[in-house]
Chains A and B, each alone.
Chain A
Amino acid sequence: MSGKEGAGGFKKRKHDNFPHGHRREEKDNINPSTVFMSFKAFQLELDTRHDKYERLVKLSRDITIESKRTIFLLHRITSAPNGDEILMESEAKLDTVRQKIKQVAQELMGDDMYQFHRAISPGLQEYVEAVSFQYFIKTRTLVSIEEINKQLIFEAEDKEEETKPASDCLNSQSHIWCLKVTPVDYLLGVADLTGELMRMCISSVGNGDIDTPFELSQFLRQIYDGFSYIGNTGPYEVSKKLYTLKQSLAKVENACYTLKVRGSEIPKHMLADVFSSKTEIIEQEDGLP
Protein backbone atom coordinates (compact mmCIF):
# COMPACT_ATOMS: atom_id res chain seq x y z
CA MET A 1 0.00 0.00 0.00
CA SER A 2 2.86 2.32 -0.76
CA GLY A 3 2.38 5.58 -2.57
CA LYS A 4 3.96 4.21 -5.69
CA GLU A 5 1.60 1.32 -5.85
CA GLY A 6 -1.30 3.66 -5.32
CA ALA A 7 -0.30 5.87 -8.22
CA GLY A 8 0.10 2.85 -10.47
CA GLY A 9 -3.24 1.54 -9.47
CA PHE A 10 -4.84 4.83 -10.29
CA LYS A 11 -3.53 4.86 -13.78
CA LYS A 12 -4.59 1.33 -14.35
CA ARG A 13 -8.01 1.96 -13.05
CA LYS A 14 -8.52 4.80 -15.45
CA HIS A 15 -8.21 2.37 -18.30
CA ASP A 16 -10.29 -0.11 -16.51
CA ASN A 17 -13.00 2.36 -15.74
CA PHE A 18 -15.41 1.45 -18.43
CA PRO A 19 -15.95 -2.25 -18.04
CA HIS A 20 -15.93 -1.78 -14.33
CA GLY A 21 -18.56 0.83 -14.03
CA HIS A 22 -20.65 -1.33 -16.22
CA ARG A 23 -20.39 -4.31 -14.06
CA ARG A 24 -21.13 -2.41 -10.90
CA GLU A 25 -24.25 -0.93 -12.34
CA GLU A 26 -25.46 -4.35 -13.21
CA LYS A 27 -24.90 -5.40 -9.68
CA ASP A 28 -26.82 -2.47 -8.34
CA ASN A 29 -29.79 -3.43 -10.40
CA ILE A 30 -29.87 -6.84 -8.86
CA ASN A 31 -29.31 -5.37 -5.41
CA PRO A 32 -31.19 -4.85 -2.59
CA SER A 33 -29.30 -8.08 -1.96
CA THR A 34 -29.13 -9.76 1.38
CA VAL A 35 -25.80 -8.10 2.04
CA PHE A 36 -27.30 -4.71 1.35
CA MET A 37 -30.23 -5.44 3.59
CA SER A 38 -28.14 -6.61 6.48
CA PHE A 39 -25.84 -3.61 6.26
CA LYS A 40 -28.89 -1.40 6.34
CA ALA A 41 -29.77 -3.07 9.60
CA PHE A 42 -26.21 -2.60 10.88
CA GLN A 43 -26.37 1.06 10.00
CA LEU A 44 -29.45 1.46 12.11
CA GLU A 45 -27.97 -0.45 15.01
CA LEU A 46 -24.70 1.46 15.00
CA ASP A 47 -26.41 4.82 14.67
CA THR A 48 -28.70 4.07 17.57
CA ARG A 49 -25.74 3.09 19.68
CA HIS A 50 -23.69 6.15 18.78
CA ASP A 51 -26.62 8.45 19.44
CA LYS A 52 -27.12 6.97 22.84
CA TYR A 53 -23.43 7.33 23.58
CA GLU A 54 -23.49 10.99 22.62
CA ARG A 55 -26.53 11.66 24.78
CA LEU A 56 -24.77 10.05 27.71
CA VAL A 57 -21.61 12.07 27.15
CA LYS A 58 -23.68 15.21 27.20
CA LEU A 59 -25.39 14.21 30.42
CA SER A 60 -22.05 13.31 31.91
CA ARG A 61 -20.67 16.73 31.11
CA ASP A 62 -23.67 18.40 32.68
CA ILE A 63 -23.19 16.28 35.78
CA THR A 64 -19.53 17.21 35.91
CA ILE A 65 -20.16 20.92 35.62
CA GLU A 66 -22.94 20.98 38.17
CA SER A 67 -20.90 18.89 40.61
CA LYS A 68 -17.94 21.21 40.25
CA ARG A 69 -20.16 24.16 41.04
CA THR A 70 -21.37 22.38 44.13
CA ILE A 71 -17.81 21.87 45.24
CA PHE A 72 -16.99 25.53 44.73
CA LEU A 73 -20.05 26.43 46.71
CA LEU A 74 -19.00 24.15 49.53
CA HIS A 75 -15.58 25.75 49.67
CA ARG A 76 -17.23 29.00 50.62
CA ILE A 77 -18.33 27.42 53.86
CA THR A 78 -15.02 27.97 55.65
CA SER A 79 -15.30 31.72 55.50
CA ALA A 80 -19.02 32.15 55.76
CA PRO A 81 -20.86 32.20 59.08
CA ASN A 82 -24.05 30.83 57.55
CA GLY A 83 -22.84 27.28 57.08
CA ASP A 84 -26.25 25.71 57.21
CA GLU A 85 -27.55 27.85 54.42
CA ILE A 86 -24.73 26.82 52.14
CA LEU A 87 -25.27 23.17 53.01
CA MET A 88 -28.93 23.51 52.12
CA GLU A 89 -28.06 25.13 48.86
CA SER A 90 -25.54 22.43 48.03
CA GLU A 91 -28.15 19.82 48.79
CA ALA A 92 -30.48 21.44 46.31
CA LYS A 93 -27.74 21.53 43.72
CA LEU A 94 -26.94 17.88 44.27
CA ASP A 95 -30.60 17.08 43.81
CA THR A 96 -30.50 18.59 40.35
CA VAL A 97 -27.40 16.54 39.64
CA ARG A 98 -29.27 13.46 40.75
CA GLN A 99 -32.04 14.32 38.33
CA LYS A 100 -29.46 14.17 35.57
CA ILE A 101 -28.20 10.87 36.86
CA LYS A 102 -31.75 9.65 36.80
CA GLN A 103 -31.84 10.47 33.11
CA VAL A 104 -28.65 8.49 32.69
CA ALA A 105 -30.22 5.58 34.51
CA GLN A 106 -33.27 5.78 32.28
CA GLU A 107 -31.06 5.91 29.24
CA LEU A 108 -29.23 2.82 30.37
CA MET A 109 -32.33 0.87 31.28
CA GLY A 110 -32.09 -2.57 29.77
CA ASP A 111 -28.53 -1.96 28.65
CA ASP A 112 -25.26 -3.17 29.94
CA MET A 113 -23.95 -0.28 31.96
CA TYR A 114 -20.36 -1.12 31.18
CA GLN A 115 -20.99 -0.78 27.48
CA PHE A 116 -21.40 2.95 27.94
CA HIS A 117 -19.30 3.28 31.03
CA ARG A 118 -16.67 5.38 29.36
CA ALA A 119 -19.25 8.00 28.48
CA ILE A 120 -20.52 8.52 32.00
CA SER A 121 -17.53 7.68 34.14
CA PRO A 122 -16.11 11.24 34.43
CA GLY A 123 -19.46 12.61 35.50
CA LEU A 124 -19.96 9.92 38.09
CA GLN A 125 -16.52 10.50 39.56
CA GLU A 126 -17.18 14.18 39.87
CA TYR A 127 -20.49 13.45 41.50
CA VAL A 128 -18.83 11.12 44.01
CA GLU A 129 -16.38 13.88 44.76
CA ALA A 130 -19.11 16.42 45.38
CA VAL A 131 -21.26 14.11 47.47
CA SER A 132 -18.40 12.88 49.59
CA PHE A 133 -17.19 16.43 50.13
CA GLN A 134 -20.58 17.52 51.34
CA TYR A 135 -20.87 14.42 53.48
CA PHE A 136 -17.52 15.11 55.04
CA ILE A 137 -18.45 18.67 55.90
CA LYS A 138 -21.63 17.44 57.53
CA THR A 139 -20.38 14.40 59.39
CA ARG A 140 -16.56 14.48 59.24
CA THR A 141 -16.53 10.93 57.90
CA LEU A 142 -16.20 9.26 54.55
CA VAL A 143 -19.38 8.41 52.72
CA SER A 144 -19.59 4.74 51.81
CA ILE A 145 -20.27 3.48 48.33
CA GLU A 146 -23.50 1.89 49.56
CA GLU A 147 -24.63 5.26 50.83
CA ILE A 148 -24.01 6.85 47.47
CA ASN A 149 -25.78 4.11 45.57
CA LYS A 150 -28.74 4.32 47.92
CA GLN A 151 -29.33 7.88 46.77
CA LEU A 152 -29.25 6.84 43.17
CA ILE A 153 -32.40 4.77 43.22
CA PHE A 154 -35.15 6.69 41.56
CA GLU A 155 -38.83 6.15 41.41
CA ALA A 156 -41.13 7.71 38.93
CA GLU A 157 -43.00 10.50 40.62
CA ASP A 158 -45.38 11.76 38.02
CA LYS A 159 -47.47 10.25 35.32
CA GLU A 160 -45.55 11.87 32.55
CA GLU A 161 -42.57 9.73 33.25
CA GLU A 162 -44.61 6.64 33.70
CA THR A 163 -45.90 6.76 30.19
CA LYS A 164 -42.72 7.77 28.46
CA PRO A 165 -40.48 4.75 28.95
CA ALA A 166 -43.13 2.30 27.97
CA SER A 167 -40.73 -0.55 27.44
CA ASP A 168 -39.32 -0.15 30.93
CA CYS A 169 -42.68 -0.90 32.39
CA LEU A 170 -42.31 -4.42 31.16
CA ASN A 171 -39.56 -4.87 33.66
CA SER A 172 -40.58 -6.42 36.92
CA GLN A 173 -39.66 -3.47 39.13
CA SER A 174 -41.99 -1.25 37.22
CA HIS A 175 -40.96 2.36 37.78
CA ILE A 176 -37.65 2.13 39.51
CA TRP A 177 -34.40 3.14 37.94
CA CYS A 178 -31.15 2.78 39.68
CA LEU A 179 -27.58 3.42 38.84
CA LYS A 180 -24.69 1.88 40.68
CA VAL A 181 -21.44 3.69 40.99
CA THR A 182 -18.69 1.20 40.32
CA PRO A 183 -16.03 0.65 42.98
CA VAL A 184 -13.39 2.09 40.70
CA ASP A 185 -15.40 5.24 40.02
CA TYR A 186 -15.92 5.55 43.74
CA LEU A 187 -12.23 5.21 44.47
CA LEU A 188 -11.27 7.75 41.85
CA GLY A 189 -13.87 10.15 43.16
CA VAL A 190 -12.56 9.77 46.68
CA ALA A 191 -9.03 10.35 45.46
CA ASP A 192 -10.21 13.62 43.92
CA LEU A 193 -11.90 14.46 47.19
CA THR A 194 -8.55 14.54 48.95
CA GLY A 195 -7.48 17.39 46.71
CA GLU A 196 -10.54 19.36 47.76
CA LEU A 197 -9.86 18.59 51.40
CA MET A 198 -6.34 19.86 51.05
CA ARG A 199 -7.69 23.06 49.59
CA MET A 200 -10.17 23.35 52.41
CA CYS A 201 -7.41 22.82 54.92
CA ILE A 202 -5.30 25.65 53.55
CA SER A 203 -8.17 28.09 53.30
CA SER A 204 -9.26 27.31 56.84
CA VAL A 205 -5.75 28.08 58.03
CA GLY A 206 -6.05 31.35 56.21
CA ASN A 207 -9.22 32.03 58.17
CA GLY A 208 -7.51 31.40 61.45
CA ASP A 209 -9.30 28.13 62.03
CA ILE A 210 -6.87 25.92 63.91
CA ASP A 211 -8.90 22.79 64.56
CA THR A 212 -10.00 21.93 61.05
CA PRO A 213 -6.49 21.37 59.65
CA PHE A 214 -5.78 18.73 62.26
CA GLU A 215 -9.06 16.98 61.66
CA LEU A 216 -8.37 17.06 57.95
CA SER A 217 -4.88 15.70 58.25
CA GLN A 218 -6.23 12.89 60.39
CA PHE A 219 -8.85 12.09 57.83
CA LEU A 220 -6.52 12.37 54.87
CA ARG A 221 -4.09 10.03 56.54
CA GLN A 222 -6.83 7.44 56.91
CA ILE A 223 -7.68 7.71 53.26
CA TYR A 224 -4.05 7.55 52.30
CA ASP A 225 -3.63 4.40 54.37
CA GLY A 226 -6.65 2.97 52.66
CA PHE A 227 -5.25 3.65 49.22
CA SER A 228 -1.90 2.22 50.20
CA TYR A 229 -3.69 -0.89 51.34
CA ILE A 230 -5.23 -1.26 47.90
CA GLY A 231 -1.93 -0.45 46.28
CA ASN A 232 -1.61 -1.86 42.82
CA THR A 233 -4.43 -4.38 43.04
CA GLY A 234 -6.58 -1.59 41.72
CA PRO A 235 -6.59 -0.43 38.13
CA TYR A 236 -3.96 1.81 36.68
CA GLU A 237 -5.84 5.07 37.22
CA VAL A 238 -6.05 4.43 40.94
CA SER A 239 -2.32 3.99 41.37
CA LYS A 240 -1.80 7.12 39.31
CA LYS A 241 -3.90 9.13 41.72
CA LEU A 242 -1.96 7.76 44.65
CA TYR A 243 0.95 10.02 43.79
CA THR A 244 -1.14 13.19 43.84
CA LEU A 245 -2.76 12.00 47.02
CA LYS A 246 0.62 11.67 48.66
CA GLN A 247 1.45 15.23 47.72
CA SER A 248 -1.83 16.55 49.08
CA LEU A 249 -1.22 14.72 52.30
CA ALA A 250 2.28 16.14 52.58
CA LYS A 251 0.96 19.68 52.17
CA VAL A 252 -1.65 19.19 54.82
CA GLU A 253 0.79 17.60 57.22
CA ASN A 254 3.24 20.42 56.67
CA ALA A 255 0.53 22.95 57.34
CA CYS A 256 -0.30 21.19 60.58
CA TYR A 257 3.35 21.10 61.47
CA THR A 258 3.68 24.83 60.92
CA LEU A 259 0.60 25.44 63.00
CA LYS A 260 1.97 23.37 65.83
CA VAL A 261 5.36 25.02 65.83
CA ARG A 262 4.16 28.57 65.43
CA GLY A 263 1.08 28.22 67.50
CA SER A 264 -2.04 30.16 66.70
CA GLU A 265 -0.23 33.42 66.03
CA ILE A 266 0.90 32.29 62.63
CA PRO A 267 0.71 35.24 60.28
CA LYS A 268 -0.91 34.69 56.98
CA HIS A 269 2.10 35.59 54.94
CA MET A 270 3.94 32.65 56.46
CA LEU A 271 1.65 30.41 54.52
CA ALA A 272 2.51 32.10 51.29
CA ASP A 273 4.91 29.38 50.18
CA VAL A 274 2.51 26.64 51.20
CA PHE A 275 -0.08 28.32 49.05
CA SER A 276 2.11 28.97 46.09
CA SER A 277 3.42 25.44 45.80
CA LYS A 278 -0.15 24.24 46.19
CA THR A 279 -1.66 26.03 43.26
CA GLU A 280 0.00 23.84 40.67
CA ILE A 281 -1.59 20.74 42.11
CA ILE A 282 -4.94 22.36 42.38
CA GLU A 283 -4.77 23.40 38.77
CA GLN A 284 -3.75 19.92 37.75
CA GLU A 285 -6.70 18.37 39.44
CA ASP A 286 -9.25 20.91 38.43
CA GLY A 287 -8.72 20.57 34.73
CA LEU A 288 -11.98 19.37 33.29
CA PRO A 289 -11.63 15.81 32.16
Chain B
Amino acid sequence: MSVSEMFITLQGVLTADQDIREEIRKVVQTMEQTAREILTVLQGVHQGSGFQDIPKKCQKAREHFGTVRAQLASLKMKFPADQYYRFHEHWRFVLQRLVFLATFVVYLETETLVTREAVTEILGIEAEREKGFHLDIEDYLSGVLTLASELSRLAVNSVTAGDYSRPLRISAFINELDSGFRLLNLKNDSLRKRYDGLKYDVKKIEEVVYDLSIRGLNKEATDGAGGEK
Protein backbone atom coordinates (compact mmCIF):
# COMPACT_ATOMS: atom_id res chain seq x y z
CA MET B 1 0.00 0.00 0.00
CA SER B 2 1.38 3.38 -0.89
CA VAL B 3 1.68 6.17 1.61
CA SER B 4 -1.11 8.21 0.06
CA GLU B 5 -3.46 5.24 0.01
CA MET B 6 -2.77 4.67 3.67
CA PHE B 7 -3.59 8.23 4.51
CA ILE B 8 -6.78 8.10 2.47
CA THR B 9 -7.95 5.10 4.50
CA LEU B 10 -7.04 6.83 7.72
CA GLN B 11 -8.88 9.93 6.66
CA GLY B 12 -11.95 7.79 6.05
CA VAL B 13 -11.68 6.38 9.55
CA LEU B 14 -11.37 9.84 11.05
CA THR B 15 -14.34 11.19 9.13
CA ALA B 16 -16.49 8.26 10.23
CA ASP B 17 -15.42 8.98 13.77
CA GLN B 18 -16.42 12.60 13.45
CA ASP B 19 -19.82 11.63 12.08
CA ILE B 20 -20.44 9.49 15.13
CA ARG B 21 -19.45 12.33 17.41
CA GLU B 22 -21.79 14.65 15.57
CA GLU B 23 -24.69 12.25 16.04
CA ILE B 24 -23.88 11.85 19.72
CA ARG B 25 -23.76 15.58 20.22
CA LYS B 26 -27.23 15.96 18.75
CA VAL B 27 -28.77 13.46 21.14
CA VAL B 28 -26.86 14.87 24.08
CA GLN B 29 -28.29 18.28 23.31
CA THR B 30 -31.85 17.01 23.56
CA MET B 31 -30.93 15.26 26.79
CA GLU B 32 -29.61 18.49 28.21
CA GLN B 33 -32.91 20.11 27.31
CA THR B 34 -34.87 17.44 29.17
CA ALA B 35 -32.54 17.69 32.14
CA ARG B 36 -33.21 21.41 32.33
CA GLU B 37 -36.94 20.79 32.24
CA ILE B 38 -36.71 18.32 35.11
CA LEU B 39 -34.61 20.75 37.09
CA THR B 40 -37.20 23.48 36.57
CA VAL B 41 -39.92 21.21 37.88
CA LEU B 42 -37.89 20.29 40.95
CA GLN B 43 -36.73 23.82 41.66
CA GLY B 44 -40.29 24.45 42.82
CA VAL B 45 -39.49 22.91 46.20
CA HIS B 46 -37.37 25.88 47.13
CA GLN B 47 -40.38 28.16 47.09
CA GLY B 48 -42.30 28.55 50.30
CA SER B 49 -45.45 27.07 48.88
CA GLY B 50 -43.60 24.28 47.21
CA PHE B 51 -43.30 22.01 50.21
CA GLN B 52 -46.87 20.88 50.16
CA ASP B 53 -46.95 19.22 46.80
CA ILE B 54 -43.54 17.58 46.68
CA PRO B 55 -45.03 14.21 45.70
CA LYS B 56 -46.79 15.85 42.78
CA LYS B 57 -43.56 17.46 41.58
CA CYS B 58 -41.70 14.19 41.90
CA GLN B 59 -44.41 12.52 39.94
CA LYS B 60 -44.04 15.06 37.18
CA ALA B 61 -40.27 14.72 37.19
CA ARG B 62 -40.56 10.98 36.93
CA GLU B 63 -42.68 11.39 33.84
CA HIS B 64 -39.87 13.37 32.27
CA PHE B 65 -37.49 10.54 33.04
CA GLY B 66 -39.49 8.53 30.53
CA THR B 67 -38.23 10.92 27.86
CA VAL B 68 -34.71 10.56 29.20
CA ARG B 69 -34.93 6.80 28.89
CA ALA B 70 -35.97 7.11 25.27
CA GLN B 71 -33.17 9.57 24.57
CA LEU B 72 -30.58 7.36 26.22
CA ALA B 73 -31.87 4.43 24.23
CA SER B 74 -31.32 6.36 21.01
CA LEU B 75 -27.89 7.47 22.21
CA LYS B 76 -26.99 3.83 22.65
CA MET B 77 -27.62 3.21 18.98
CA LYS B 78 -25.22 5.90 17.84
CA PHE B 79 -21.96 4.11 18.54
CA PRO B 80 -20.60 0.59 18.96
CA ALA B 81 -21.43 -0.75 22.38
CA ASP B 82 -17.84 -1.64 23.26
CA GLN B 83 -16.55 1.88 22.66
CA TYR B 84 -18.32 3.56 25.54
CA TYR B 85 -15.23 5.24 26.91
CA ARG B 86 -14.13 6.47 23.55
CA PHE B 87 -17.00 8.93 23.47
CA HIS B 88 -17.56 9.17 27.19
CA GLU B 89 -16.66 12.85 27.40
CA HIS B 90 -19.59 13.82 25.26
CA TRP B 91 -22.29 12.70 27.64
CA ARG B 92 -20.40 12.76 30.88
CA PHE B 93 -21.72 16.11 32.00
CA VAL B 94 -25.35 15.50 31.15
CA LEU B 95 -25.26 12.05 32.70
CA GLN B 96 -23.96 13.46 35.97
CA ARG B 97 -26.75 16.00 35.88
CA LEU B 98 -29.33 13.31 35.32
CA VAL B 99 -27.92 11.27 38.17
CA PHE B 100 -28.25 14.29 40.38
CA LEU B 101 -31.85 14.79 39.31
CA ALA B 102 -32.69 11.15 39.90
CA THR B 103 -31.08 11.17 43.35
CA PHE B 104 -32.90 14.39 44.15
CA VAL B 105 -36.28 12.97 43.20
CA VAL B 106 -35.68 9.84 45.24
CA TYR B 107 -34.45 11.87 48.17
CA LEU B 108 -37.55 14.05 48.13
CA GLU B 109 -39.74 10.98 48.01
CA THR B 110 -38.06 8.72 50.54
CA GLU B 111 -35.22 10.77 52.07
CA THR B 112 -32.71 8.07 51.27
CA LEU B 113 -29.71 7.87 49.04
CA VAL B 114 -30.57 6.11 45.85
CA THR B 115 -28.24 3.28 44.95
CA ARG B 116 -26.29 3.21 41.75
CA GLU B 117 -28.39 0.30 40.53
CA ALA B 118 -31.61 2.18 41.17
CA VAL B 119 -30.31 5.19 39.24
CA THR B 120 -29.51 3.02 36.28
CA GLU B 121 -33.02 1.67 36.47
CA ILE B 122 -34.53 5.15 36.48
CA LEU B 123 -32.39 6.10 33.50
CA GLY B 124 -33.00 2.85 31.68
CA ILE B 125 -29.35 1.91 31.41
CA GLU B 126 -27.20 -0.94 32.68
CA ALA B 127 -25.44 -1.19 35.99
CA GLU B 128 -22.41 -3.10 34.79
CA ARG B 129 -20.05 -2.29 32.02
CA GLU B 130 -20.29 -5.71 30.46
CA LYS B 131 -23.91 -5.35 29.61
CA GLY B 132 -23.77 -2.21 27.53
CA PHE B 133 -24.38 1.46 28.16
CA HIS B 134 -23.70 1.82 31.87
CA LEU B 135 -23.21 4.40 34.56
CA ASP B 136 -19.61 5.06 35.43
CA ILE B 137 -18.96 5.11 39.16
CA GLU B 138 -17.32 8.51 39.05
CA ASP B 139 -20.30 9.98 37.27
CA TYR B 140 -22.60 8.54 39.90
CA LEU B 141 -20.50 9.99 42.72
CA SER B 142 -20.38 13.37 41.01
CA GLY B 143 -24.14 13.40 40.77
CA VAL B 144 -24.40 12.57 44.46
CA LEU B 145 -22.11 15.47 45.32
CA THR B 146 -24.35 17.83 43.38
CA LEU B 147 -27.24 16.51 45.43
CA ALA B 148 -25.39 17.48 48.60
CA SER B 149 -25.06 21.11 47.60
CA GLU B 150 -28.66 21.21 46.48
CA LEU B 151 -29.77 19.85 49.84
CA SER B 152 -27.79 22.43 51.76
CA ARG B 153 -29.71 25.04 49.83
CA LEU B 154 -32.95 23.23 50.53
CA ALA B 155 -32.19 23.25 54.25
CA VAL B 156 -31.90 27.02 54.24
CA ASN B 157 -35.07 27.49 52.25
CA SER B 158 -37.11 25.06 54.29
CA VAL B 159 -36.34 27.10 57.41
CA THR B 160 -37.54 30.21 55.60
CA ALA B 161 -40.69 28.35 54.69
CA GLY B 162 -41.22 27.40 58.33
CA ASP B 163 -40.35 23.74 58.05
CA TYR B 164 -37.94 23.31 60.96
CA SER B 165 -37.69 19.56 60.98
CA ARG B 166 -36.33 19.11 57.49
CA PRO B 167 -32.88 20.63 58.13
CA LEU B 168 -32.29 18.11 60.90
CA ARG B 169 -33.07 15.24 58.61
CA ILE B 170 -30.96 16.72 55.85
CA SER B 171 -28.11 17.18 58.28
CA ALA B 172 -28.20 13.54 59.27
CA PHE B 173 -28.29 12.54 55.62
CA ILE B 174 -25.42 14.75 54.56
CA ASN B 175 -23.29 13.64 57.47
CA GLU B 176 -23.82 10.11 56.39
CA LEU B 177 -22.78 11.03 52.87
CA ASP B 178 -19.74 12.82 54.18
CA SER B 179 -18.55 9.84 56.13
CA GLY B 180 -19.23 7.73 53.07
CA PHE B 181 -17.03 9.89 50.89
CA ARG B 182 -14.34 9.84 53.54
CA LEU B 183 -13.94 6.17 52.83
CA LEU B 184 -12.86 6.81 49.27
CA ASN B 185 -9.29 7.31 48.21
CA LEU B 186 -9.81 9.88 45.52
CA LYS B 187 -7.22 10.76 42.97
CA ASN B 188 -6.44 14.33 42.17
CA ASP B 189 -9.06 14.66 39.49
CA SER B 190 -12.35 16.42 38.90
CA LEU B 191 -14.20 14.17 41.31
CA ARG B 192 -11.78 15.03 44.07
CA LYS B 193 -12.24 18.69 43.32
CA ARG B 194 -15.97 18.39 43.67
CA TYR B 195 -15.60 16.36 46.82
CA ASP B 196 -13.61 19.21 48.31
CA GLY B 197 -16.76 21.28 48.07
CA LEU B 198 -18.73 18.85 50.19
CA LYS B 199 -17.36 20.17 53.47
CA TYR B 200 -18.86 23.57 52.77
CA ASP B 201 -22.27 22.00 52.30
CA VAL B 202 -21.84 20.11 55.54
CA LYS B 203 -20.83 23.30 57.31
CA LYS B 204 -23.75 25.23 55.89
CA ILE B 205 -26.24 22.70 57.15
CA GLU B 206 -24.59 22.52 60.53
CA GLU B 207 -25.00 26.26 60.79
CA VAL B 208 -28.67 25.99 59.97
CA VAL B 209 -29.12 23.28 62.58
CA TYR B 210 -27.24 25.39 65.08
CA ASP B 211 -29.42 28.39 64.41
CA LEU B 212 -32.48 26.29 64.96
CA SER B 213 -31.29 24.63 68.13
CA ILE B 214 -30.10 27.82 69.80
CA ARG B 215 -33.59 29.19 69.41
CA GLY B 216 -35.20 26.01 70.54
CA LEU B 217 -36.87 25.60 67.23
CA ASN B 218 -35.74 22.07 66.69
CA LYS B 219 -37.76 20.93 69.70
CA GLU B 220 -40.90 22.32 68.20
CA ALA B 221 -39.99 20.54 65.05
CA THR B 222 -39.99 17.20 66.76
CA ASP B 223 -43.33 17.97 68.40
CA GLY B 224 -44.95 18.77 65.11
CA ALA B 225 -43.86 20.29 61.86
CA GLY B 226 -44.36 23.99 61.31
CA GLY B 227 -44.95 26.05 64.43
CA GLU B 228 -44.87 29.82 64.80
CA LYS B 229 -41.68 31.75 64.50
Contact = CB atoms under 8 A, between A and B. Distances in A.
Interface residues of A, number: 51
B185 A46 contact: yes
B102 to A, nearest CB: 15
B15 A117 contact: no
Given A112-B85, A223-B3, A40 B203 contact: no
B10 A183 contact: yes
A161 interface: no
A281 B73 CA distance: 49
A27 B185 contact: no
B10 to A, nearest CB: 5
Nearest to B176: A35
Interface residues of B, number: 47
A226 B6 contact: yes
Nearest to A223: B3
A114 B15 CA distance: 19
Given A19-B213, A45-B137, A112-B129, A39 B184 contact: yes
A38 B115 contact: yes
A227 B85 contact: no
A43 B83 contact: no
28 contacts: A6-B203, A9-B203, A9-B206, A13-B203, A16-B213, A19-B213, A27-B172, A27-B175, A27-B176, A28-B179, A38-B180, A42-B141, A46-B186, A50-B187, A112-B85, A112-B86, A114-B84, A114-B85, A114-B86, A115-B85, A115-B88, A142-B6, A144-B6, A183-B10, A222-B4, A225-B7, A230-B10, A233-B18
Interface of B: 1-4, 6-8, 10-11, 13-15, 18, 82-86, 88, 112-113, 115-116, 129, 137-138, 141, 172, 175-177, 179-181, 183-187, 200, 203-204, 206-207, 209-210, 213
| A-B interface, 7 closest residue pairs, ranked by CB to CB distance from nearest | A226-B7, A39-B180, A114-B85, A115-B85, A222-B3, A114-B86, A16-B210
